[in-house]
Structure 1
């Protein structure tokens, strides 16, 4: 009995040991499997991160590709548009004559240069085919800085600015005197335009005006600036200004005294080409102004802005189209009390720029084309329009003409 019990215990013990060994082996296998699973999960996570990064890079690359494609498409479209436009362009000369001193353009037919040639379907540098004389005319219309900068375009452009008619406009900034002196000394002329703004008397002005670079000047603007309303400090207009009278087309004088009438009469000034004259904040006698106007057979536009020294002005011009005037009260009193239009068959615009000032306006001569009148107010004591008379803009004598 005891022997059987001992055998059963031994068998149970062996069975327990075998079960323990199997459990231990199973546990080790489970641990190994867990470790493998953990490693696999880490590998999968890393792979997922790499996949995400790759996807992001792919997205960015796609965006760049799209933008690049759009840019390329836009560039191609712009190039095609430019090519099509170049095939249709015609370049027109600004003037119907060659610019002064530029020579003749034998290859210009009727003032047009054909820029439509094509070479194997590709674009052509049409500007290179434009004659130097035409390019010079274009440069003479550009502002000073822009015109000078064209010298860096290519070797061909370097001498063009110096050979083109000078367009010099300086607004009185820092180093402006040095700039004007340098340009006038380097440019051989002729000049198309000279516009300068300087502060009161300047010892450089006479030297500038005598420069050969300004020969045959067409447009001239001289503006003296001064502080406040001290009219006694206005600068005397240099007599050398009048050397340009044979060629001037446009002239503006501001902030200056005109010379005495006997000097102007002695000079017998003639402005055969002058079409536009502006006088602003100047003092000038009636005799001097009438003498100047009588020497302007081509004058089309006249502007008188706060001109002192004139009490009564009579206008008689066969070419004048526009007359503008402005008179204001000041310490010197009102200017231009009376304006009389005696004969102006081409006058289209009579422009009074402010409501006060000139007290009497008389249009008594021929003005068949007059279509525009400026400010008319009760400050005008008398306004004569033909045979009709208005006092403070109230009709006191009104005549109408009836036609069948």
Structure 2
């Protein structure tokens, strides 16, 4: 596969078009080889490698060279990567080398996160010809761009993976764009804006990653193949999530109190609390959420709603008056604890009584537990861990084979930037960013 890539370089004042150095009076100087363009004699693959390895300040001088490489490319190029760039690139997309392009990565430089950066650079207009190869594209990553409202949405009949990061796109344009993706399997809407609601109906979609403006509403109308619904940033939106039909949903998270309402049909959750449950959701295997306290009663409510849960990630926010004295009643068995729950990951663990009692409930009652991991935010000394082992009653664990591991707090805040969330073959996309 032929691949074209451009450096992470800021556009500065260009050199002379032929790349020759000149003295102040216009002469080429005393070097007899000064007018000879030896660089262009190198093969394209070597030129591309050289450009991609240059430091930013040196790569800034290669704009003319990069466009020269693309113009000379015999094609067909299957992959084009233009990430963190400055300048105008509309002419680049018009190259005949890109007529059968299958993989596109395009993004302007300097685009801050809209939810976190106090002064983000506004998205720049998407080059009109950026999606010229829409008929052949299989994957597309577009960042820092402003989709024109009047533009006709392209038909993307072969696109299986689409990520829009820090883009501005009107609601109707977004829906027309998604309607043109007949075989889409993975959709990422990350730090994007200018729409109030996203309604998704797709017979092929398997994964949705969402991180948008706090007031946005996400509605999964009909997604018979959807397996992963990932709300990537606990500090942003959506505010309301409604899943009308997604019978194959297996991975759900990150659920935070920023989500005012999560309507899963038989289960309704408000601000990380189950408020209504008429039936259980047995397909869900991985759940990621936060809990203030942590609140054991609330988490047990989730275990009952998702009885076949195998992996539970919890970021806890300590509340010192939380008791967590609940005991397991064998007369009211919890299927998840008896048969399925194999991994528990606790982040923000401080080792105080609410944390200890919370963890001990799983240690003493999760009968098939394989591992429990603690993301510790205090000094994790040998003496401290020995004390924790004693207080948690590890000698009385319900699962004889269970392993327990204390580490410095896991980086759950990096979920949004972790490529695992876009990797469809990965069974648990949160695994690489949390544990």
TM range (shorter): 0.5 to 0.7
The CA distance in 2 between the partners of 1:368 and 1:305, in whole Å, is 24
3-state SS of paired residue (1:263)? coil
| Structure 1 position 368 matched with structure 2 position 247 | yes
Contact 2:189 2:210 (C-alpha < 8 Å) held by counterparts: yes
Structure 2 equivalent of residue 235 of structure 1: 124
Structure 1 equivalent of residue 95 of structure 2: 211
Structure 2 equivalent of residue 301 of structure 1: 186
Decide which structure has greater helix share.
1
The CA distance in 1 between the partners of 2:281 and 2:234, in whole Å, is 32
Contact 1:170 1:176 (C-alpha < 8 Å) held by counterparts: no
Structure 2 equivalent of residue 322 of structure 1: 207
Structure 2 equivalent of residue 103 of structure 1: none
| Structure 1 position 288 matched with structure 2 position 173 | yes
Structure 1 equivalent of residue 137 of structure 2: 248
The CA distance in 1 between the partners of 2:127 and 2:72, in whole Å, is 23
Instruction: Call closer, same or farther: CA 1:316–1:338 in 2, change over 3 Å.
Output: same
The one of 138, 145, 151 equivalent to 1:263 is: 151
The CA distance in 1 between the partners of 2:99 and 2:133, in whole Å, is 8
| Structure 1 position 349 matched with structure 2 position 228 | yes
Contact 2:4 2:81 (C-alpha < 8 Å) held by counterparts: no
TM-score w.r.t. length of structure 2: 0.49
Aligned residues: 236
Larger Rg: 1
Structure 1 equivalent of residue 29 of structure 2: none
The Cα offsets for residues 264-297 of structure 1, whole Å up to 9 and x where unpaired, read as 2xxx520000011111111001101100000001
The CA distance in 1 between the partners of 2:190 and 2:50, in whole Å, is 25
User: Is there any run of 5+ residues in structure 2 with no aligned partner, and where?
Assistant: 8-42, 283-435
When the two chains are superposed, the root-mean-square deviation of aligned CA atoms in Å is: 3.1
1:144 Cα offset (Å): 9.2
The Cα offsets for residues 329-353 of structure 1, whole Å up to 9 and x where unpaired, read as xxxxx35621111100111111111
Instruction: Call closer, same or farther: CA 1:380–1:218 in 2, change over 3 Å.
Output: same
The one of 104, 110, 130 equivalent to 1:226 is: 110
The one of 131, 156, 163 equivalent to 1:278 is: 163
Contact 1:280 1:306 (C-alpha < 8 Å) held by counterparts: yes
Contact 1:313 1:338 (C-alpha < 8 Å) held by counterparts: yes
The CA distance in 2 between the partners of 1:199 and 1:401, in whole Å, is 48
Instruction: Call closer, same or farther: CA 1:227–1:180 in 2, change over 3 Å.
Output: same
Instruction: Call closer, same or farther: CA 1:392–1:213 in 2, change over 3 Å.
Output: same
1:393 Cα offset (Å): 2.2
TM-score w.r.t. length of structure 1: 0.53
3-state SS of paired residue (1:342)? strand
Structure 2 equivalent of residue 193 of structure 1: 79
Matches within 5 A, 1:32-43: none
The CA distance in 2 between the partners of 1:180 and 1:170, in whole Å, is 10
Decide which structure has greater strand share.
2
The Cα offsets for residues 169-214 of structure 1, whole Å up to 9 and x where unpaired, read as 95873334233212212211111001113544x23x1221111111
Instruction: Call closer, same or farther: CA 1:210–1:169 in 2, change over 3 Å.
Output: farther
The Cα offsets for residues 129-172 of structure 1, whole Å up to 9 and x where unpaired, read as xxxxxxxx5xx379899xxxxxxxxxxxxxxx879xx9999587
The CA distance in 1 between the partners of 2:254 and 2:122, in whole Å, is 31
User: Is there any run of 5+ residues in structure 1 with no aligned partner, and where?
Assistant: 1-136, 146-160, 328-333
1:306 Cα offset (Å): 0.5
Instruction: Call closer, same or farther: CA 1:213–1:193 in 2, change over 3 Å.
Output: same
Matches within 5 A, 1:30-179: 137=1, 140=2, 173-179=59-65
| Structure 1 position 184 matched with structure 2 position 63 | no
Instruction: Call closer, same or farther: CA 1:168–1:300 in 2, change over 3 Å.
Output: farther
The Cα offsets for residues 283-321 of structure 1, whole Å up to 9 and x where unpaired, read as 001101100000001100011111010111111100001
Structure 1 equivalent of residue 239 of structure 2: 359
Structure 1 equivalent of residue 367 of structure 2: none
3-state SS of paired residue (1:378)? coil
Contact 1:221 1:253 (C-alpha < 8 Å) held by counterparts: yes
The CA distance in 1 between the partners of 2:244 and 2:139, in whole Å, is 28
The CA distance in 1 between the partners of 2:224 and 2:78, in whole Å, is 31
